[in-house]
Amino acid sequence: MTTSLFDRYQALKASQPSLRQRDAADALGVSEGEIVTCLPQTVRLNLSATELVKRLEGFGQLKAITRNAAAVHEKDGEYTNLSLGETMGLALNPDGLDLRFFFKHWVNLFALKLVTPRGVQHSIQVYDEFGDAVHKLFLGEHSKLEAWEALVAEFGTASQELTPAKADAAKSDAADVDLSTFHADWLALQDVHHFHGMLKRHGVSRRRAFELAPEGYSWKLDASATETLLNQAAEAQLPIMVFVGNRGLVQIHTGKLQRIKRVDDWINILDPGFNLHLLETLVDQIWLVRRPIVDGMLTAVELFDKEGNTLATFFGERREGQLENPAWTALATALPAQEARNAA
């Protein structure tokens, strides 16, 4: 008789009690979403992603977790200042939950009530069409449990099946790029949000764009750059912005850093209300990138995996209409380079 996924998961958890859900899924050769659907405590939520986010506004303070293969971004805050459409949206809270939603990939929505060594844990967990985690929200002492219970009562269904994956259209960089036009478009940028549109027009990925950038506007950094950046920002009490995202969400932290700690291959920020966990072995390339905006120049440090997926991005703290903090510019541009190029 074939052992069920639930039984295999329980046996694995019994042998490794501290094993995280995602790591258990990898060990069992399934998606994390499949692990969630096999749990008897899981309830599927039958409502749209946009409607779910609207309801979260009444949950009070939550712990929001957004991750990809190498970076885990944990932030405490409330779902407020929402601006939502059918396919995209944002929660604009630079001092709290600062989120950018891409609802196309909010395919599987679940509520979980789990008994843990620390007590009963209530959460909302969102997975994409492939069973990869998009976003998780955990209730705490300052959350409104009655809002979670009302959501489950109104939208919970018995069906726990994972919505099947759809084939993703393969994307590749354009074979030929008109460099003179590409450089002119780069230098003519006025807003950081126009960068994605420029990439689409030229048919290039972010990583390829950095390779093709005008001289002095991008260069590779040494593998030590991330830890150096975080330690120096913490020591200088320089406020920075930390972006981590996946196909369905980008989560942002803005502020000064306090405690940077390395544990084996993980670089960690362990601050009150904000944690970042970055698995350094999965970082393939680190780029320093400079782009013109109407307020001057914007400097970023962006991390990629081997497939060219963005793992995390760092900026200096900046509000709309402000110049970039020169202390951030100096810190970022002085990071150890892998391939030296003249700064713009």
Q: Give yes or no: residues 116 and 189 share one domain.
A: no
Q: Give yes or no: residues 35 and 67 share one domain.
A: yes
- Round to whole Å and give the CA distance between 160 and 336: 49
Answer yes or no: is 262 within a domain.
no
Q: Give yes or no: residues 153 and 183 share one domain.
A: no
- Round to whole Å and give the CA distance between 306 and 312: 14
Provide the greatest CA pair distance for the chain: 66
Are residues 50 and 57 in contact, defined by beta-carbon separation less than 8 angstroms? no
Give the ranges where 83-205 is alpha helix by DSSP (H). Answer: 145-155, 179-187, 195-202
State the pLDDT at residue 232: 98
Domain that holds residue 123: 5-10+18-97+105-157
- Round to whole Å and give the CA distance between 243 and 253: 7
* Phi and psi torsions of 181, nearest 5°: -70, -40
* Token digits of residue 121: 């844990």
- Round to whole Å and give the CA distance between 231 and 326: 18
Answer yes or no: is 273 within a domain.
no
Q: Give yes or no: residues 128 and 89 share one domain.
A: yes
Q: Give yes or no: residues 35 and 129 share one domain.
A: yes
Q: Give yes or no: residues 234 and 314 share one domain.
A: yes
Task: Give one DSSP letter per residue of 103-116, joined into a string.
Answer: GGG--EEEEEEEEE
Q: Give yes or no: residues 185 and 140 share one domain.
A: no
CATH number of the domain that 153 lies in? 3.40.1570.10
Q: Which pTM value belongs to this model?
A: 0.93
Q: Give yes or no: residues 292 and 192 share one domain.
A: yes
Q: Give yes or no: residues 146 and 218 share one domain.
A: no
Are residues 249 and 87 in contact, defined by beta-carbon separation less than 8 angstroms? no
**In what helix (H) or strand (E) does residue 170 lie, and over which residues does it extend?**
none
Are residues 244 and 66 in contact, defined by beta-carbon separation less than 8 angstroms? yes
What is the count of structural domains for the chain?
Answer: 2
Q: What is the pLDDT along the chain (344 residues), one digit of tens a residue?
A: 357 998 998 999 889 988 888 899 999 999 999 999 999 889 999 999 999 999 999 999 999 999 999 999 999 999 999 999 999 999 999 989 999 999 999 999 999 998 887 889 999 999 999 999 999 999 999 999 999 999 999 999 976 777 766 655 556 787 789 999 999 999 999 988 899 999 999 999 999 999 999 999 999 999 999 999 999 999 999 999 999 999 999 999 999 999 999 999 999 999 999 999 999 999 999 999 999 999 899 999 999 999 999 999 999 999 877 899 999 999 999 999 995 444 44
CA-wise closest residue to 289 among 156, 200, 189: 189
Q: Give yes or no: residues 184 and 235 share one domain.
A: yes
Q: Give yes or no: residues 26 and 125 share one domain.
A: yes
State the pLDDT at residue 8: 92
**In what helix (H) or strand (E) does residue 310 lie, and over which residues does it extend?**
strand 310-316
**In what helix (H) or strand (E) does residue 55 lie, and over which residues does it extend?**
helix 49-56
Are residues 343 and 330 in contact, defined by beta-carbon separation less than 8 angstroms? no
